[in-house]
Structure 1
């Protein structure tokens, strides 16, 4: 089966949704316009052993902060109830807490990778990269959705 010329030029897109004042749809070229961070990452993959790659892209925190999470700015700890769900086109999912990526708390340098080993991910889609993880299970390829959810205030 051959693909049409239009399909060959398609650029993958991801949706930022949920408890955000400015939901967005972003492509890899959009992500390349952000300040770029590099990470040399080694992680264990259950199916292919240890992987070594260099990823480049903006910090997840910076991109989500620009989308306007609906924290109560008068309550510093309000943001700690927010979760971030990341979904890939292949059905893989990962869940992070806002505290993990927030500079005032965990400050994890989580990337929305726009390139891997120097190759742009325009058609494949951005990748979630957690350089601090030893196991690659939370590495999500071909991100199609990121949802920010702050409904967890009433757990107590």
Structure 2
């Protein structure tokens, strides 16, 4: 990805954006120490620092009606990485009125900046590391439409 790794925020947002890791680092940061199981590398332990995914998306102006609660439950986030890996997260997981999980778009891992490789999605409560998306290139927000069939 080079020194100019960017994350594209798109979908149902009033202010879609492309943010560098440096711009993410300028947002209020949180630090977490995590342990998770990686299928290929076994138990992993890392320290991450970066903004909460909730804060990043709220700054982009999600087109979600916040006056009620139930309508928020149909929104999903798709987080894509540079290696093609993708994880889906429900809005309710990060919404403080529901799950309130503090997932991060980490700007550093173990004290090393992620400017060149891109930020990492960090899901601190997951025991399995599959939703830890490295080199995040895009975060999409949108509603799940009525299933057909």
Structure-2 residue corresponding to 1:113: 106
Could you tell me how far 1:109 is from its partner in structure 2?
Answer: 1.1
30, 49, 67: which one aligns with 2:23 = 30
Is 1:21 matched with 2:7? no
Is 1:133 matched with 2:109? no
Structure-2 residue corresponding to 1:103: 96
39, 54, 66: which one aligns with 1:61 = 54
Structure-2 residue corresponding to 1:89: 82
Could you tell me how far 1:82 is from its partner in structure 2?
Answer: 0.5
Runs of 4+ that moved beyond 6 A: none
Structure-2 residue corresponding to 1:148: 141
Describe the superposition over 1:57-114 as per-residue Cα deviations: whole angstroms up to 9, x where unpaired: 0000010011111112333322111000000000100000000000110011100000
Max radius of gyration: which structure?
Answer: 1
Could you tell me how far 1:151 is from its partner in structure 2?
Answer: 3.9
| Secondary structure at 2:115 match in 1 | coil
With structure 1 as the length reference, what TM-score do the two structures score? 0.90
| Secondary structure at 1:68 match in 2 | coil
| Secondary structure at 1:145 match in 2 | strand
Q: 2: distance between equivalents of 1:80 and 1:24? A: 24
Higher helix share: 1
RMSD between superposed Cα atoms in Å: 1.5
Structure-2 residue corresponding to 1:43: 36
Q: 1: distance between equivalents of 2:27 and 2:21? A: 10
Query: Gaps (5+ residues) in structure 1?
Result: 1-6
With structure 2 as the length reference, what TM-score do the two structures score? 0.94
